[in-house]
Amino acid sequence: MVEMESRRIHNVFKMDECTRCGKCFMDCPVMHLPLEVAKNEIMRLIHHQESEYVLKHCTSCFSCNLICPYDCKPYQLILENWNIQYNERGAPALYRFVVPTEKNNVWEMLRQLAPKIENDQIQLWMRTPPKENILLAGNYTHLMSFIISGSQLLDHFTVVDLLDHWECGAYPYQLGYLDLVEDIGKQCKHYFDEWGVKTIITSLDAVEHMLNYVHPQEMRIQFDQKVINFNRWLLDMIESRKIALPKKLDMRVTVHDNCYSKSGIVEGKTYWDLAREVISKTGCEIVEMEHNRDLALCCGFGAGCSWQTGHEFSIPFDMMITTETKFQEVIATGSDILVTYCTGCVYLLWAARELLDYDLKIFHHIELVRMAMGENIDVSLKRHEERAWDLIAIITIVMLKSMFQKNFKIKKLKFSKREKGKWGKKPYVGLRIFRFFFKSHLVRKIYRKIFRRLMERYQTPLEIISS
């Protein structure tokens, strides 16, 4: 990775305005720290001392920023401390799974399992020369591309899926790799300017937030392109009747709010409000979970951010424990249909559904829109189920390999021409063997039992002794 002069603002957290009241961590929907413990944790983080609870149990959900009565941005204090930890110790080997420029990443491995029609679509998105107006499909749409591929919705854009744009830094940001995110932002700006891009539609709230807020305000990287949230675009198209929804779905659903939904406002509306408006226009009735909007619980991905040295193997189990809490809230609503508006969340929720054996229907909200448009999609969700097992097979392989690997630093941000030419051609024979066995329902049942046992053994519960 080329070293460049840093322009990042290192003190986004408003230290002088923080009263150390502890409310951010006391009212956290995950930790609920006692007041004195919460105050002590803030002081530890401010002085970059070893955190007893927050850095080990935060699920990176942004809620503390909204809870803070003085808008001091305590979440940014957490991220700065994680950034220090990353620079000192690197990332756990398991994280190679989500690094597109590393071997054994999920996207390249999935190419060996996905059907040809999906691979051809993704290759088209990855190789299409960007034009003035683009839709950034994004790394996680890549994993379940069938959610949107083939839809008339895509007729309005040039669709681009560039894996080495890292969702414009959205998920490394959530991991706290802030120096890395700054370099990703500079790289993205260079390419968008070089290609002459004028308008960017972002399929993820996270990407819109990175381009419109994080990079300009925290990294001092200004994007000259007009960046539009996909749900804002979609609502405008529906309200102007350029997209018709003739088929009302009459479904009772509950909505999962992704972490980044708490991070920004688009034309006076929160990300979660925009998504709910879209879902309501399909004819669905929304029933809310106990934790929603500003206090919504993470899908599970964020639980992997707060890993501890010596407990790297527990990361997937911590993530699934978090997801199971979410599933219990879904069941409590009386609805068996969970809708998410984040492609990062949808793949993880589906993998958890299969691993934990929950009888839930999980849709991306774009699938509801397509159904309301009258388009044919896989309403049986069998394709989602099989993709979940593709991903479980990949995660299993990466977990096993990571047991024999050391922490690492991310050295490369982009593919070379040679790497682009070789991308996706490695055979991954062991992966194919794992996936073959997972076709058996008996093997799946046994695997679930083993995973449950390991969850019980490796989970790292939040144990607080109030002084």
pLDDT in tens, 228-243: 999 999 999 999 999 9
> How does strand 265-266 pair with strand 269-270?
antiparallel
Of 7-11, 68-72, 316-320, the range with the lowest mean pLDDT is 7-11
For 188-208, the pLDDT digits (tens) are: 999 999 999 999 999 999 999
Q: What is each CA distance from 217 to 144, 214, 326, 328, 443, in whole angstroms? A: 32, 5, 32, 37, 50
Mean pLDDT of the chain: 93
The pLDDT value given to residue 3? 47
Burial of 410 (0-12, 13-18, 19+ CB in 10 A): buried
In terms of DSSP H, where are the helices of 136-270? 139-143, 170-175, 178-195, 205-209, 215-218, 230-239
Tell me which DSSP letter residue 153 carries. Answer: G
- The token pair at 428 is 């991954």
Q: What is the dihedral of CA 6, 9, 11, 17, to 10 degrees?
A: 170
What percentage of the chain exceeds 70 in pLDDT?
Answer: 97
DSSP H/E element including 71? none
Structure tokens at 188: 């993205």
Q: What is the model's pLDDT at position 419?
A: 77
Question: Which has the higher per-residue pLDDT, 365 or 456?
Answer: 365
Is the pLDDT at 10 greater than 90, yes or no? no
Q: In what order do the strands lie in the sheet with 158-160?
A: 158-160, 133-136, 199-202, 226-229
Query: Is pLDDT above 70 for 461?
Result: no
> Where does the pLDDT of residue 282 fall: very low under 50, low under 70, confident under 90, or very high at 90 and above?
very high
Token pair belonging to 348? 């993880």
| For range 244-263, the mean pLDDT | 95
- CA distances to 36, 40, 176 from 20, rounded to whole Å, are 10, 9, 22
pLDDT at 466: 42
pLDDT for the residue 5: 66
Element containing residue 95 per DSSP (H, E): none
Give the model's pLDDT for residue 460.
67
Residue 1 pLDDT greater than 50, yes or no: no
Q: Which pLDDT does position 328 carry in this prediction?
A: 97
Two structure tokens written together for 449 = 């039992």
What local confidence, expressed as pLDDT, does residue 7 receive?
80
Q: Per-residue pLDDT for 467 more than 60? A: no
In terms of average pLDDT, the best of 49-53, 149-153, 252-256, 462-466 is 252-256
**Residue 2: what pLDDT?**
43
Q: Work out the average pLDDT over 38-55.
A: 95
Average pLDDT over residues 309-328: 92
Q: For residue 4, name the pLDDT band (cuts at 50, 70, 90).
A: low
pLDDT band (50, 70, 90) for residue 159: very high
Residue 256: is its pLDDT beyond 80?
A: yes
Least Cα distance to 79 among 188, 200, 182, 231 occurs for 182
Q: Cα separations (Å) of 436 from 296, 302, 351, 424? A: 37, 30, 17, 19
Dist. CA 204–CA 347, nearest whole Å: 14
User: Rounded CA gap, 16 and 438, in Å?
Assistant: 55
Distance between CA atoms of residues 8 and 310, nearest Å: 31
Q: Say if residue 185's pLDDT is above 70.
A: yes
- d(CA 335, CA 285) in angstroms, rounded, equals 10
Spatial distance between the Cα atoms of 355 and 445, rounded to a whole number of angstroms: 9
- Angle, vertex CA 420, rays to CA 427 and CA 412, nearest 5: 100
